[in-house]
Structure 1
Amino acid sequence: MHQQVYHSSEIQAWEGRWFAQQNSAYGLMQQVAWATTEQMLPRLKQQQVNSVAVCCGQGNNAGDGYLIASYLAVQGYDVEIYAAALGESTSLQQAHAAAVQQGIMIHTGFAFQHSYDAYIDALFGIGLNSELSSDWQAVIRQINRQTGLKIAVDIPSGLQANTGQALPCAVVADYTFTALGLKAGLFTGQGKAFAGEVTLISLLPVDSALKPLASLAPQYVHLVPRQAFGHKGSYGHVLVIGGHAQMGGAVMLAAEAAFHAGAGKVTVVCDAKHHTAILSRAPNIMLRDINQMSLQEC
């Protein structure tokens, strides 16, 4: 089954439509935090985690962090929170109050008092679009230097949610639990190097206005069996164009990949200098000389 991948603006608009129906923002935060905790618990048990440091920023991603800390404390984990100054979001303040009520130690700042078995990153969410300040860069590098398990809530802090670009650094997570929909930046650019194992926390009903950006192919792609009476023209024709006389490798690899992906016919339009090499590797590829063709023929 193909999983849908979304631009961050689609996720934010989806949340907006949900709240416009008089659904509670704090209620959704509680659901996300509890579902994330449920998915997290088997990993913590497997890694024999006892002590946990939860790092909270100033937005709603931090609210998830405060609630996750509360839920983990109820489960018997030794939890401490390291936090920035509390932001103005009502949901965030409610989540902070829940952690205080649970009796969790909350440290101001990110100077870890000792080492922990796991570090939960709830600093920044999908709204981050500009380069981190030097202070925040220092915090992220401090987290990355720790030897314990690293877990990101929604997205590794410092990673741009759509491009996968580090701004300019990001938390290197072992696990990322991303809420509502898969974000493109977890799979593009530098994203895969920071996200670790990605788990989707799916909660809201998908509405008709939600538009995916792309789909993730399954790990193993199974091609449709070909009919006994079919021929190469029955399974699509791929045109690969590359013109540089000194760079034939790209068209060669792209053409072979097209065949492996199931194309029936593949035509390469390139400099004739590369024709012999291409045919020696894949004689089923059809060739045209780019220098002998008009734009209309291409």
Structure 2
Amino acid sequence: MPDKISIPVECKLSSAEQSRSMDSNTINEFGIDGFTLMELAASSAAEQIKKLQGTGKSGLFICGKGNNAGDALAAARYLINDTRHNATFFFVLGDDDLSPDAGTNLSLLHKLKNFGADIEFIKDLQDLDEQEFDYVIDGIFGTGLNSDLRGNLPNIVQRINSFSKPVYSMDIPSGLHADTGQILGSCIKADYTFTFGSNKIGLHWKDSRKYTGEVVFCNLPFPSTYREWDAVLINQKLVNSIPVIERTARHKYDGGVVHIMAGSEGLTGAAMMAAKSAWKQGAGAVFLYAPKALLPTYESTLPNIIKIGVGNDSDTIFKKKHAEIIKRNIHNKQGVLLAGPGIGRSSDTGACLVSVLKEQEGPTILDADALSFWENIESSDIPMAQKRKWLLTPHIGEATNYLGAEFKNDYERFKWAQNFSNQSKVSLLIKGNPTFVSLRDGNNFITGYDTFIFSRAGFGDVLSGALAANISISQNVELATVSSLYSAYRRSQEFGESESFGPEHLL
């Protein structure tokens, strides 16, 4: 996947297959052996646990048979040696036939026990008194799990989840599918997940958050040439690594020009929100095209916006004959076109939009009602070179109703967005919790924060206006998309949870 903007390694979200490939190539081609990688992962996790728990504590380590168990066993050794912890171990499937590196770590723990370390091995969890330990380490299964837990394993998971002590999962909560986030019968509910080497994409779906707790990335020395990822996590770490969008221009039409086709009778609020947002975001000039009957509504509320009436004084919707004045003005003052907020779904409006799109050679954002005309737009003779500059911004309902989307969960929604972008040759931002972005010839993005607060009316209009301004100023869709999405979240955090946060607070 291309790395067009500077992306911190912890923001690169990988599939289980990609994670295994990076690990395997680092071991077999680059020459860092698996035991060394396990040591690095375990020491990093142990350091985090030390910060959270302090010294002289007791840990319960629940282990499987593979390298996930090896991570837990090695972490225990660091905690015993360096932090004066004592440790109790339970192997859910017995301690024979462990993976080679896990077996080595178990033998090292036996040596520490012989040296006098406070280490105990138990055969059952049911009679264990949780007052005997301060925390639990989940080292049962890693990213290789792809079928439901069987036998007594669901009961063991249920028992662990019943404990009141903090639970720390090694790499991924046992029972969570590393790609889809699906719960495989039963799943550990972690307070923290220490993910090693690569940040797993399945940790970041909405439903996964109930099981992952806080995800802490523990880096491993995978060479950059082996790094692979499916998506990029939008968070403060990513935003800190990218340039700030700032307009530098000689006059108002020198960069930062936004053209907005929005609003119709009864839906003027959407146009106002989008226009105010584009202006607030720093656009040099914002043109709002409006059926003439609506102009009085805008005149008193949008003093900074250049308003261009189309049609006659009785027109309340866009009509095909209005397209010429819009096309002419865009041609004279080239910039980003935003079409859709509150535009209505009249067939005449759709014909006007298609006519404008045929001659719009610059970046274009299709939002809200504009998406209802997608079938007509797609079947028109608009050159593919122009469509490559488009960004579609549906919410989930619009994606389903207008774009033919079908999905049952976040993973399927993410995959649908990728496929739609590839097949239609456009970029796509699909709102939801989380929000996904699939950029044509670019990265895929996932918001790494709760976007539920933005699910109310008006926020989508504000976002579309911010996107239009930022794309026009930066000429970089990746940078503009990340900045627009995260700036709204950052503003919501500054506003405070105790107050009623609305789209007007972003303007």
Q: TM-score, normalised by structure 1?
A: 0.78
Aligned to 2:407: none
The yes-or-no answer on 1:226 pairing with 2:236 is: no
How many angstroms apart in 1 are the aligned matches of 2:72 and 2:222?
23
- Equivalent in 53, 57, 70 of residue 64 of structure 2: 57
What is the identity, as a one-letter code, of the residue corresponding to 2:90?
Answer: Y
Aligned to 1:215: 232
Deviation at 1:40, TM superposition (A): 1.7
Deviation at 1:185, TM superposition (A): 0.8
How many angstroms apart in 2 are the aligned matches of 1:9 and 1:158?
17
Q: Larger % of helix: which?
A: 2
Is this contact kept in 1: 2:194–2:218, CA < 8 A? yes
How many angstroms apart in 1 are the aligned matches of 2:231 and 2:20?
17
Is this contact kept in 1: 2:42–2:71, CA < 8 A? yes
Is this contact kept in 2: 1:49–1:117, CA < 8 A? no
Of residues 27-36 and 143-152 in structure 1, the stretch that sits farther from structure 2 once superposed is 27-36
The yes-or-no answer on 1:266 pairing with 2:327 is: no
What is the identity, as a one-letter code, of the residue corresponding to 1:108?
Answer: K
Identity %: 24
Residue correspondence of structure 1 range 1-298 to structure 2 within 5 A? 2=8, 3-21=11-29, 22-45=31-54, 50-74=57-81, 75-84=83-92, 85-86=94-95, 87-103=97-113, 104-111=119-126, 113-115=128-130, 116-219=133-236, 224-228=245-249, 229=251, 234=256, 265-268=337-340, 271-272=345-346, 290=373, 293=376, 295-296=379-380
Is this contact kept in 1: 2:41–2:220, CA < 8 A? yes
How many angstroms apart in 1 are the aligned matches of 2:183 and 2:375?
45
How many angstroms apart in 2 are the aligned matches of 1:69 and 1:130?
28
Question: Structure 1 residues 37 and 143, CA, compared in 2 at 3 Å: closer, same or farther?
Answer: same
What is the identity, as a one-letter code, of the residue corresponding to 1:127?
Answer: G
Is this contact kept in 2: 1:270–1:290, CA < 8 A? no
How many angstroms apart in 2 are the aligned matches of 1:192 and 1:14?
25
Deviation at 1:235, TM superposition (A): 6.9
How many angstroms apart in 2 are the aligned matches of 1:49 and 1:140?
26
**Two-structure CA RMSD over aligned residues (Å):** 3.5
How many angstroms apart in 2 are the aligned matches of 1:235 and 1:6?
37
* Number of equivalences: 272
Where does structure 2 lack aligned partners over 5 or more consecutive residues?
1-6, 114-118, 262-266, 284-335, 350-366, 383-507
How many angstroms apart in 2 are the aligned matches of 1:128 and 1:236?
49
What's the secondary structure of 1:126's corresponding residue? Answer: coil
What is the identity, as a one-letter code, of the residue corresponding to 2:69?
Answer: A
Deviation at 1:231, TM superposition (A): 5.5
How many angstroms apart in 2 are the aligned matches of 1:129 and 1:155?
13
How many angstroms apart in 2 are the aligned matches of 1:213 and 1:12?
14
Aligned to 1:281: none
Question: Structure 1 residues 272 and 136, CA, compared in 2 at 3 Å: closer, same or farther?
Answer: farther
How many angstroms apart in 2 are the aligned matches of 1:171 and 1:137?
9
Deviation at 1:162, TM superposition (A): 1.0
* Higher relative contact order (Cα pairs below 8 Å, separated by 6+ residues): 1
What's the secondary structure of 1:211's corresponding residue? Answer: coil
Deviation at 1:65, TM superposition (A): 1.1
Deviation at 1:292, TM superposition (A): 10
How many angstroms apart in 2 are the aligned matches of 1:53 and 1:42?
17
What's the secondary structure of 1:166's corresponding residue? Answer: coil
Question: Structure 1 residues 120 and 236, CA, compared in 2 at 3 Å: closer, same or farther?
Answer: farther
Deviation at 1:66, TM superposition (A): 1.3
How many angstroms apart in 2 are the aligned matches of 1:7 and 1:230?
45
Where does structure 1 lack aligned partners over 5 or more consecutive residues?
240-247, 276-284
Q: TM-score, normalised by structure 2?
A: 0.48
What's the secondary structure of 1:208's corresponding residue? Answer: helix
Map Cα deviations across residues 56-84 of structure 1 (whole Å, 9 max, x no partner). Answer: 11111001111212222222112111113
What is the identity, as a one-letter code, of the residue corresponding to 1:271?
Answer: R
Map Cα deviations across residues 267-294 of structure 1 (whole Å, 9 max, x no partner). Answer: 2276349x9xxxxxxxxx8965739945
Map Cα deviations across residues 229-275 of structure 1 (whole Å, 9 max, x no partner). Answer: 45698578999xxxxxxxx9xxx8xx96xx68x795422276349x9
Q: Which structure has the greater CA radius of gyration? A: 2
Is this contact kept in 1: 2:181–2:205, CA < 8 A? yes
Of residues 168-177 and 54-63 in structure 1, the stretch that sits farther from structure 2 once superposed is 168-177
